[in-house]
Structure 1
């Protein structure tokens, strides 16, 4: 896709009104969070601004930003703040992105060092305008962090590289992130209205291919619930993920960013999340995070430690 095919200026999907006119269910107490006010939050915010970095925490309106930033954790979003796709669940702007910033990997690495992070999550917008989808930029960022903060473990949350040659995935894997995450987001039947620019089985194959390239690399994927899926559909996604040898599953409640985005079909109860967690562990995932407020990078450092321990225990018991 050339940049001429993309909409400009950037907009937050005013045309994406998929099911948005449906009356919204009342938000339950378990999904409410407090506004951020701590000194830790302010410090993290200042470091992000100092290094001119974009975070998915802000761009996607994550409900956990206050808690995470208070602890000095932020998920950094590389390659700009404008996406070439227009998913109906996402609040990131769609349009023609700027050219890549060659100095961004170094600034990200400096911020990781300054925050003294044990674990960092790096994600990005979709960049269908780039021949490699931004794969080399991911690899450069990983290498820059390794140089500046060699003890920091690195988790990446990548696009699907749908329009790219198969070889671009090798570029990212060869940079040796500790966790390779790519989210399926929802059940396949909802893709046309929720994630129209993506392909469910391509995303599954991407994660399966990571394992083929490096069997030691942890793979991770996540979905949202409350978009209109049913339980059987979620269980089928779990089976598909395990067939692709995915290690870590996240499941969280979808929250509508604005009235123009896909509507919340329902709020899934904490007991249902517990049931999904039990089912997922039963299907063989090494690690599962399934709560209303779960997001891909929520408690990612602690979960990575659990993930490593789970693999060691599995090897010892083999």
Structure 2
């Protein structure tokens, strides 16, 4: 179980590191297609596992195959009525924890960029043609004597009208305004995944700096999964040796609360709270899955795993949607 978790988490680390780089080198669609290819490879692997499993089953004695088929046929959805309260509490715990950790990873990039790697600069350094950059409408360089560097702060916003449509890069010339009294575009309208902005004459540097910030944010984003990939097998061994499953199941969410509070309410480097998050996530996973067989009958173990997984995945997806 621990090795399986390690491989799964390693895949998440690779995704966090490669996706921004593929998107920067090509575009977001290419990064998505790379993910599709990996999913296709995974599907082929599953088919191979099915073939191997069927072959192994055929090598079993006839009595063993018959007993296995009998157990499979006896599994019914109504089995869940026989599950004890301890199982449902475990399932509820899994829903809460995975509904917290996994959706966070979906928004972690944006959070870290705004918090640490592409922060809002001081008001006098926010926009070209204004404040420190008055008279400099293109902002081809940062005034480091009066403004912070980019990154970790955002590049000054361009002097582009908010009431102008930009469909191709050259449209920016028609949208350029020299008077700061006009309604100007804000950062939420600049889509650096679109070539009209990525290659635009007034937003190229802004988008390049943002891409650099996104690449920097990818490394700390990978910390929770990297920690899980490394320590999960050892945590599984530790739990098998010393027990204390209930204690660890309580310790993990408390640590998650501390980690998220540090991210939200402090200016501490993200490496510290994300390390705590990774440790908590790893401890919880190492305890959760081996604990399931302890709270259900042996012939209900498969159903129990299915119920926990379904509850966890649906909660995770619902939370990700609203995030």
TM-score tier, shorter chain, comes to under 0.3
* TM-score after normalising by structure 1: 0.21
The structure whose Rg is larger is: 2
More helix by share: 2
Q: Higher relative contact order by CA 8 Å / sep ≥ 6: 1 or 2?
A: 2
* TM-score after normalising by structure 2: 0.21
More strand by share: 1
